[in-house]
Amino acid sequence: MKKLLLISVATLSLAAGAAFAEKVKDWHDIDKVHNKIVTAIQDMERARAANHYDMAGHGAKAEELLRQAEHELHESVEAAKMAK
3-class secondary structure, 34: helix
pLDDT tens figures, 3-30: 666 666 666 665 666 555 555 567 788 8
Q: Which domain holds residue 36?
A: 2-83
Domains held by the chain: number? 1
Q: What is the dihedral of CA 83, 39, 16, 22, to 10 degrees?
A: -50
pLDDT tens figures, 37-67: 999 999 989 988 988 887 888 888 888 999 9
